[in-house]
Structure formats: structure tokens, C-alpha cells
Structure 1
Amino acid sequence: MGALINMQPLFLLFLLLKPLQFVRIYDPSLSDERREELEDYLDDLYATGPTKPPTKEAFRTHVIINSEMPLTDQDYCNQEMKMKRVHNRLHCVKEHFFLQAPYDDIQEICHNIFVQCTNGVRKCHRSREIVSGVHCALKSGTMMPFCEYTSSYREGWVLITCQWDDVVGEIIPVSVIDILAI
């Protein structure tokens, strides 16, 4: 019976190698605020721990739109997904919704009664008002920036999930599940 060194030399070599070290390059053109924002973004991107809990700001940033581009534009999702950096650790997301409504109106939906949801989610809140939005469905690609999406304009009642946020002390929207056609 051979020793581990004789049987698995490649495995032993990997154990002896030092982990890769990323070097941060100093860019004098970046303001201190932008540099800190970039470093936080990179830390989040390469983090191996649990995901951050949802926040009001994350929902505003990734879902709420007030774009001047028409929502019916066929290339809407391809551009907006990149502009708003919607991805999961640089992997393409399979589906995403953008809503054209003020955040406060969307947050009000969290106070509506529960309704039956779609996509296997048990409890959703449905809007009382009609909301315009865009549904993005992954067409091709696996990693950013090579994700290609089909864009479809939707108008109807929005189904969202909500949860309590201890930091701000209120219920906040977490994700858009669907936009039900009128």
C-alpha cells in the first residue's frame, strides 16, 4: 500500500500552492466615494459567505425604472440588465422584471392581502392598480456581459413578495414574481 504522496502527487501539489491574491490597482481618476463603491461591489461579487438580505435600495436599483427608452423596445432588457448590473455573481439571471412605478407605490403593495402566487411561491401580494413593466427572459449566454434577453412589455397587476427589514423597521418588497395581464 502506497503513501498518499505516491498515490496523489497532483493533489499534494495543490495543497502546497498558495491561494491566488488579487491586487488592487490604484486609479487616481476615481473619487474616494467611487473607489469605495467599487471595492464594496468587488467584495460582494467574490464573497463566499451568505448572501446579503434584501434592502430597499437594492430593490430600487434593480427593479424600479424611469428610463427614457420606450418599454416596448426589443433591446430594452439587454441594455437595462447591464446598466443596472442585474446578475448573480456575474452569472446571467434566467428571468427579471422591471417596473415603471414609484418605489412608494410598489411598497404599498406589501400591505395588500395575500394572493395565490405563480412559480411555486406560496404567498404574494397583488397590486390594486395597473402597473407597466418589462419582463426579461434569458435567451442565451451564461456569464455577464454575454447575456442576451428577450424583452416583452407587460401591463397589469403586479405580484410581489415582501419581507420585514429590521434595519429600516418596515416591510419591503423583495422580488417581482409576475405581471398578470389585464
Structure 2
Amino acid sequence: CLSLPFSFSLHFPSPFPLLPTGNMGTLINMLPLFLLFLLLKPLQFVRITDPYLSNERREELEDYLDDLYSTGPTKPPTKEAFKTHVIIDSEMPLTERSYCDQEMKMKRVHNRLYCVKEHFFLRASYEDIQEICNNMFVQCKNGIRKCHRSRGIISGVHCALKSGVMMPFCEYTSSYKMGWVFITCQWQDDIGEIIPVSVNYILAI
């Protein structure tokens, strides 16, 4: 039995109408199908009910669960998303072999719960990374998209998927990198700024 530091309630729509009392055998036969339905049906609403959690912590956990089980369209890139998923704020050494396994979970890096094949973390301020978006276009690693290359040397970690399909069973190979960073950027209308979207490559020195 897994004991969680918080409790939450899950609300599902009924997968089939109520059966008459004389059809108990039919209900029993449908039970495995119903259990499978619960496993596959996305959560429509999650509410944290632990009275000992602060409002801020409760909202953070609810947002996290909503993010995990969201079925809507892919969220557009934002400044906050890049800060959360890419900028390193931990004190763990970048050379730690388990760095990616821990940070990918802590920073909730996944694609609708599926493991991402690769990811980069950067040790730099968001402002320094955003400034790279003003640099000239260069060719990305894949030779297709347009990237911007940093003028200075930046430290980071490259995470390459080693095994696993879905969170939290994704295992990664962590590789410390130091070099020129290649990023993609996009104009964001609501804030009137060009923002970094993804890290394409770190060209090691």
C-alpha cells in the first residue's frame, strides 16, 4: 500500500447506466471492463482535500495532476514553461550520473506522461538564454529548423532516454556538456517578447 503525503478525490462520468438488481451477474461480468475503463479514462477533475496543505501547495499539486492527465491540445510554449523545464536551479553536481533521472521527474518533463527521447538542462539565467534569441540564425543540429547560437560558453546536461515508455519509469543517460548552446525561439504576442522554446544542441568545446 502506497502512502501519499496528500489525499485527492477523483470524479469520473459513469461508463454505463445503472443495472436492475436482477442483472447482478451481468454487472460482475462487466467489472473487468469497468476497471480497464478506469485505467484508460482520463481524469476530468482532481481536487486535493488534505487540510494540512497550504493553499499555494494545494494549487501546485492540482496543477501538476491536471498537467499529467490533461487531454486538451498541446499547451503553447511560455516563458514560465521554459524556466521550469530547462533552467537548472538545483545544487546537484551536473556530473552526477543520476542527474537526469531525478530532474526529469522533479521538473515534470514528459509528453502526456510518455518519456521524451532527449532533453537539455542549462545552468544559466533565463535572461541570458533569452538574449540568445537576438543572435543571428544558424543551422540547427537536424539541418532543418532555424536556431540561434550563444556567443558565450554555457554549462548544461544532455538527457538521452535509456529505457522506459511512460513516467515515472523513464531512465536516462546523463551527459555533462559545456559549450555553445543552440536554441529555437518564438515570438509571444501576449507579452510582446521573443522567448526561447527549446534547446536543440550543445556544441561541446
> For the superposition of Structure 1 and Structure 2, which TM-score range results when normalised by the shorter chain?
0.7 to 0.9
Residue number in structure 2 paired with 1:52: 75
CA apart distance, 1:96: 0.3
Higher relative contact order (CA 8 A, sep 6+): 1
Relative distance call for 1:176 and 1:50 in structure 2 (3 A) is: same
Identity of aligned residues (%): 80
* Aligned-partner residue type, residue 17 of structure 1: F
Residue number in structure 2 paired with 1:173: 196
* Aligned-partner residue type, residue 41 of structure 1: Y
* Aligned-partner residue type, residue 171 of structure 1: I
CA apart distance, 1:30: 1.9
Q: How does 1:1-182 map to 2 (within 5 A)?
A: 17=16, 24=47, 26-182=49-205
**What number of residue pairs does the alignment pair up?**
168
Residue 102 of structure 2 aligns to a residue whose secondary structure is: helix
Compare 138-147 and 36-45 and name the one that shifted more: 36-45
Relative distance call for 1:107 and 1:25 in structure 2 (3 A) is: closer
* Aligned-partner residue type, residue 96 of structure 1: H
Segments of structure 1 that go 5 or more residues without pairing to the other structure are 1-15
TM-score by length of 2: 0.75
CA apart distance, 1:120: 4.9
- The alignment's C-alpha RMSD in Å is 2.1
Relative distance call for 1:22 and 1:52 in structure 2 (3 A) is: closer
Residue 33 of structure 1 aligns to a residue whose secondary structure is: helix
CA contact (8 A) 2:113 2:166 kept: yes
The whole-number CA distance in structure 1 between the counterparts of 2:128 and 2:48 is 42
Residue 147 of structure 2 aligns to a residue whose secondary structure is: strand
Residue number in structure 2 paired with 1:8: none
CA apart distance, 1:25: 5.2
Segments of structure 2 that go 5 or more residues without pairing to the other structure are 1-14, 18-36, 39-43
The whole-number CA distance in structure 2 between the counterparts of 1:130 and 1:119 is 21
Compare 115-124 and 49-58 and name the one that shifted more: 115-124
Residue 175 of structure 1 aligns to a residue whose secondary structure is: strand
